[in-house]
Chains A and B, each alone.
Chain A
Amino acid sequence: MDTLPTDPLVAFRDVRKIYRMDAVQVAALDGVSFTVHAGELIAITGPSGSGKSTLMHLLGCLDRPTTGALMLEGRDISRASQNELARLRNQRIGFVFQSFNLLPRFNVLQNIELPLTYAGNDHHTRRRKAMAMVALVGLTDRAHHLPQQLSGGQRQRAAIARALVNDPAIILADEPTGNLDTKTGEQILRLFEELHGQGRTILIVTHDHDIAARTQRRIALRDGLIVEDTGTARSAFSVHRS
């Protein structure tokens, strides 16, 4: 069915995520299908409770769908074990959070090294790769500072460096500018655009329409369903259910 020359990086096929609270079942995602191709910059929007967080968690391998298939690089992760999910999060996913989520007692360099540590790199490799990332996000002179000694924008840069350090297939950013002032937020957005320009695949979850307007593709969610997918030539092939 997929007639594209390249396989999609991510494919959601009728994905449902149902949470059970006592007797009540809540469908956070109620049959979502779309694909993401390498190199896309996508904004995922929607009001709170629309299912965008759940989508993010599934895509980030933090959780598994209740039904449906979730393909990451051609592999169905809905049946993957906890250890495999951990490995995928480590190797293929880069998380960027609204509240940065740096470890407070670790300096910038140590924070960036952490995914490399879990990947089993030795000390020298970690240092070398982490320093390269620090340079990429322009924090070289802050490498040995603790997060609390940095400004919000610098913290988010450190977090982005940490997300990039294992060369992931996809970067998931959850409201990355939510805790930043407009000017700093703009700088972070430019960094994302720059990374996109280098061929990175980036998904930004946001309710900021200005941000959404700048991405090449926008997926809007409501009540666990995709209500809008501005699509690209490629994403036109994804199936909509509405």
Chain B
Amino acid sequence: MGLLQGIIVGFKEILAHKLRSLLTMLGVILGVAALSTMFAFVEGMFSGWKQAIEEQGGIEKLSVDNNQIPEAQLPFQHMTRKRRRADATAVMLSVAGVSAVSPEVMLREDAFVEYRGKRQWCELVGATDGIVPIGNHVLAEGRFISDMDRKTGARVVVLGSTVAAELFGARAPALLRRVYIKGVPFRVIGVMHNYELSGMGGGHFMQWKNRFTFVPLETAIKRLGTGEDLSSLNFEVKDSARLAKVAEAIRNTLFFLNRRIINYSVRTNEEMLDRFSEISGAFSISLGIIAGISLLVGGIGIMNIMLASINERIREIGIRKAIGARERDIMIQVLVEAVVLSLVGGLLGVCMSLFLTQTIGAIISATFSKPIVRVGPLVFSFCVSVVIGIAFGLYPAFKAAKLDPIEALRYE
């Protein structure tokens, strides 16, 4: 019997028992859907993370964080200080390979921008122009803080897009307006890029950037009373191959400047990326196991139904054997039916996965990265379903093929 005919017979068998076939296929459908949806989500999650890291300066970024001093150094705690502008300058002078620096101070309290009686909360940062490449900030209009602004302690401000829109109205011009921060008048010289609200939940996952508002570092220290201590100190290293060496050199410089008291750490985004890879790997494995179990259940379902189906058709198998079907013919027939079941299940599973990724993707895009559908994983999931069909069809097929024709013909 030809393979094509076997497939046709398999389809007929499925159509003859629509509900039963559907229930049988359900395991495979869910398994394949789970598998390919999982692939899409992990893919989306990982790319979202990558983008998030990118938005924070990418893997070229080196950050100096404030840390608790180690226990052994506790007696010297009174001698410690936080990072200051001098540290940034020293690193720039002593460490080769650093392409940009961004010392930052943050206004922790009363971080409001006022305009004609309206107050808008913001993330107020005293910054240098180094923050633009390092923090991956994008200016929408006007200009950013210049060296001259810093030297003169100019009272100029670059507003976050949300802040500007709330104060002046969405389409109103913002530049050159006078706003107040802690009672100090500032001139608006620029507005940052607006990360659009999007998706059903409303909101871009980079939306937190929309409230970042910048004033010159020196102005923040002198006029707004943020203090000399830097809230963060970041460097950019263009040549990422030298990242580890530069990090070590920065550690050494700070070690020297800080009287060997280690109340800081130097960290790269690369480590973060590695951690994300690990997490997404763990996700893949655990979701993969769930999908695998579901496929296994699907396979068992197919085996079960094939066994039931050959039990119903013992007589038919007897007739087929009596008129000349070889063991191989019967085996192929049952196997083809199992494979057709899992094949159709696999196809439906892929369709369901596409539907799921579209729907869930639309719902969660506000808070999370969209799932990314790729052909590779879809094909893989589909192939898995076919393999399941063959694997779990083998035993029933073998059993059917070995039936004694005389017994089978006698079966009522």
Contacts and interface: CB of A to CB of B under 8 A. Distances in A.
B325 interface: yes
Interface stretch (A86-94, A202-210, A212-220): A86-94
Contacts of A63: 406
Contact of B324 (A57, A90, A101, A103): A90
A22 B324 CA distance: 31
Given A57-B406, A117-B1, A86 B316 contact: no
Interface in A92-137: 95, 97, 101-103, 105, 114-115, 117-119
15 contacts: A83-B326, A83-B327, A83-B328, A86-B324, A86-B326, A89-B321, A90-B325, A95-B322, A97-B409, A101-B315, A102-B319, A103-B320, A105-B12, A118-B323, A166-B324
A118 B406 contact: no
Contacts, number: 59
Contacts of B409: 62, 97, 101
Given A101-B315, A105-B12, A62 B322 contact: yes
B324 A118 contact: yes
B5 interface: yes
B1 A82 contact: no
B405 interface: yes
A89 B396 CA distance: 24
Nearest to B316: A103
A162 B323 contact: yes
Contacts of B329: 118
Interface in B61-96: none
Contacts of B241: none
Contact of A62 (B320, B326, B406): B406
A91 B405 CA distance: 17
Interface in B323-338: 323-329
A102 B12 CA distance: 17
Most buried by A among B1, B323, B326: B323
Interface of A: 57, 60, 62-63, 82-83, 86-87, 89-91, 95, 97, 101-103, 105, 114-115, 117-119, 162, 166
A86 B331 CA distance: 14
A82 B409 CA distance: 17
Contact of B326 (A91, A105, A115, A118): A118
A114 B322 contact: no
Interface in B221-251: none
A103 B319 contact: yes
Nearest to B2: A117
B319 A118 contact: no
A82 B326 contact: yes
Chain B interface mostly: helix
Contacts of B324: 86-87, 89-91, 115, 118-119, 166
B323 A89 contact: yes
A208 to B, nearest CB: 21
Residue of B1, B321, B324 with highest tally of chain A CB at under 10 A: B324
Nearest to A114: B323
Contacts of A115: 323-324
B311 to A, nearest CB: 16
B148 interface: no
A193 B16 CA distance: 39
Q: Which of A87, A102, A115 has the most CB of B within 10 A?
A: A115
A22 B320 CA distance: 30
Given A86-B326, A118-B329, A105 B319 contact: no
Interface in B316-366: 316, 318-329
Contacts of A117: 1-2, 5
A62 B329 CA distance: 16
B322 A118 contact: no
Nearest to B1: A117
A144 to B, nearest CB: 15
Contacts of B1: 117-118
Contacts of A82: 326-327
B327 to A, nearest CB: 6
A56 B102 CA distance: 97
Given A115-B324, A118-B320, 18 more contacts: A57-B406, A62-B405, A83-B327, A86-B324, A86-B325, A87-B324, A89-B321, A89-B323, A89-B324, A90-B324, A95-B322, A95-B323, A101-B319, A101-B322, A102-B319, A118-B1, A118-B323, A162-B323
A192 to B, nearest CB: 19
A195 to B, nearest CB: 18
Contacts of A97: 409
B2 to A, nearest CB: 8
A118 B328 CA distance: 11
Interface string B44-61: 000000000000000000
Contact of B322 (A87, A89, A102, A105): A89
B162 to A, nearest CB: 68
Contacts of A86: 321, 324-327
A198 B410 CA distance: 32
Contacts of A101: 315, 318-319, 322, 409
